[in-house]
Amino acid sequence: MRRSSAFKSDSARMEYCKLYDQAVALSPVPVEQSDVETSFGTTHVLTAGDPSKPPLIALHALSMSATMWLPLLPTLTEFHHVRMLDVPGDINKSVARVVMSSPTRVVDWINEVLDTLAIEGSTFVASSLGTWMATQYAMARPERVEQLAFVAPAGIVSQQHPKWIVEMMFKFRLRPTVSNAEWLLDTLVMESNRPLLRTDPWRPIAQQFIVGSATFRRKLREPHPVKCNIERLAASGIPVLTVIPGDETLHDGPTMAGRFRQQLPHAQVELIEAANHLLVVDRTDVVAAQLQKFLRAR
DSSP string, 135-155: HHHHHH-GGGEEEEEEEEE-S
- The whole-model pTM stands at 0.94
Q: Which residues face 245 on adjacent strands?
A: 272
Is the pLDDT at 171 greater than 80, yes or no?
A: no
Q: Is residue 123 part of a domain?
A: yes
pLDDT tens digit string along 63-80? 899 999 999 999 999 999
Q: What is the pLDDT of residue 298?
A: 62
Number of structural domains (the chain) is 1
Closest listed residue to residue 271, CA positions, set 162, 136, 158: 158
Q: What is the pLDDT of residue 17?
A: 96
Give, to the nearest 10 degrees, the angle between helix 202-215 and helix 178-187: 130
Is the pLDDT at 172 greater than 70, yes or no?
A: no
Q: Pick the range with the lowest mean pLDDT from 76-85, 106-115, 131-140, 211-220.
A: 211-220
pLDDT tens digit string along 178-193? 888 898 899 999 999 9
Q: What is the pLDDT of residue 4?
A: 43
Q: What is the pLDDT of residue 98?
A: 84
The CATH number linked to 25 is 3.40.50.1820
Give me the domain span that covers residue 88: 6-296
- In angstroms, the CA 241 to CA 257 distance is 11
Peptide bond into 201 cis (omega under 30): yes
Residue 244 to residues 49, 134, 149, 260, Cα–Cα distance (Å):
27, 16, 11, 10
What's the average model confidence in pLDDT over 224-251?
91
Q: What is the pLDDT of residue 221?
A: 57
Residue 227 banded pLDDT, cuts 50, 70, 90 = confident
Q: What is the pLDDT of residue 173?
A: 65
Q: Which residues face 227 on adjacent strands?
A: 156
Residue 159 banded pLDDT, cuts 50, 70, 90 = confident
Q: Is residue 1 part of a domain?
A: no
Q: What is the mean pLDDT of the chain?
A: 91
Q: Is residue 163 part of a domain?
A: yes
Q: Pick the range with the lowest mean pLDDT from 20-34, 154-168, 225-239.
A: 154-168
Q: What is the pLDDT of residue 163?
A: 75
Residue 1 banded pLDDT, cuts 50, 70, 90 = very low
What's the average model confidence in pLDDT over 244-256?
93
Pair 190, 282: CB distance under 8 Å: yes
